[in-house]
């Protein structure tokens, strides 16, 4: 479990984090937006649903937990919209559930796992699984000095060179926005972000994890080709089950790799 760092100086905090990097990873929180993405992983790892999750009463957020090898695994989802019954996708629910999970579960590592659109011009194909090297927003345009950079909010993901090499995963930048389609303005910023994959949660999870200094990695499986010919929503729905199965397979390989290792081994 990650150390508490309330009230520490920057230097003391760095010291504590350097020490934590040398301890075996113990508690992992997966932030997964869709239950359709989470449930195959929950089944594979034989996790159980927490009927008293460490979240404020009345929140729709869901936690599944259990042990896999020597890891304490948590899969958290932002749950369903109480009126429409669909998953709470996008940056606001992802931020809220990440914040509550860090406070309630105190993970050593966060893994934001899910599906994404991919750009064939950057080498993505349907079914590819990417590890994000950086994350940024593409729909927070604030044309005022410095606020422009704040809006884009570029953050480096926790680097995992050994993991990427061992599992032969593809690596690319991830760009996040609250729309599944892509407006011309979004496209401009996605290109500026040099993104290979596009999702609706990653940069929001990164923003919150950064506040608490929790190392975070992003695993994104491509359901649709954004710069292809097929309509995004059709291609997404058609490929979701098969791509989710690929995501689950990659995530369990990632856990096999992580097991027994320290953050600095990744």
Catalytic residue ranges: 37, 224
Q: Which of residues 162-181 bind ligand ADE (CB under 6 A)?
A: 180
- Should residue 203 be labelled a site residue for ligand ADE when binding is judged by CB under 6 A? no
Is the distance from CB of 129 to CB of 219 less than 8 angstroms?
A: yes
Selected binder of ligand ADE within 199, 216, 246, 258 (CB under 6 A): 199
Q: Could you tell me how many residues make up the chain?
A: 266
Q: Using the rule CB under 6 A, is 223 a contact of ligand ADE?
A: yes
Instruction: Tell me which residues in 65-124 interact with ligand ADE (CB under 6 A).
Output: 115-117
Q: What three-state secondary structure class fits 116?
A: strand
Size of the site for ligand ADE (CB under 6 A): 12
CB 89 → ligand ADE: shortest distance, Å?
8
Nearer to ligand ADE, 56 or 241 (CB): 241
202 binds ligand ADE (CB under 6 A): no
Instruction: Tell the smallest beta-carbon distance from residue 33 to ligand ADE (Å).
Output: 9
Residue 244 tokens, joined: 């989710």
Cβ atoms within 10 Å of 85's Cβ, excluding its own: 7
N- to C-terminal Cα distance for the chain?
A: 17
Burial class (CB in 10 A: 0-12, 13-18, 19+), 37: buried
Structure tokens at 143: 């044309």
Binding site for ligand ADE (CB under 6 A): 115-117, 180, 198-200, 223-224, 226, 232, 236
């Amino acid at each position: 479990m990650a150390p508490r760092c309330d009230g520490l100086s920057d230097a003391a905090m760095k010291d504590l984090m350097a020490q934590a990097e040398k301890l075996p990873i113990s508690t992992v929180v997966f932030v997964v937006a869709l239950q359709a993405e989470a449930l195959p992983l929950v089944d594979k790892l034989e996790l159980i649903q927490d009927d008293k999750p460490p979240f404020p009463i009345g929140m729709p957020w869901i936690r599944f937990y259990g042990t896999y090898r020597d890891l304490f695994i948590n899969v958290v989802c932002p749950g369903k919209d109480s009126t429409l019954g669909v998953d709470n996708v996008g940056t606001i629910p992802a931020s809220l559930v990440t914040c509550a999970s860090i406070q309630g579960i105190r993970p050593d590592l966060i893994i934001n796992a899910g599906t994404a659109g991919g750009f064939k011009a950057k080498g993505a194909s349907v079914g590819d699984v990417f590890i994000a090297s950086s994350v940024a927003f593409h729909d927070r345009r604030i044309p005022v000095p410095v606020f422009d950079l704040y809006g884009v909010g570029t953050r480096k993901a926790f680097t995992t060179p050994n993991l990427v090499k061992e599992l032969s995963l593809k690596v690319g930048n991830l760009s996040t926005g609250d729309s599944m389609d892509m407006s011309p303005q979004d496209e401009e910023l996605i290109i500026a972000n040099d993104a290979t994959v596009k999702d609706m949660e990653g940069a929001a999870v990164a923003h919150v994890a950064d506040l608490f200094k929790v190392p975070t990695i992003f695993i994104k499986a491509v359901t649709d080709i954004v710069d292809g010919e097929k309509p995004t929503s059709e291609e997404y729905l058609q490929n979701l089950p098969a791509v989710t199965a690929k995501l689950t397979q990659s995530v369990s390989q990632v856990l096999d790799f992580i097991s027994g290792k320290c953050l600095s081994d990744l």
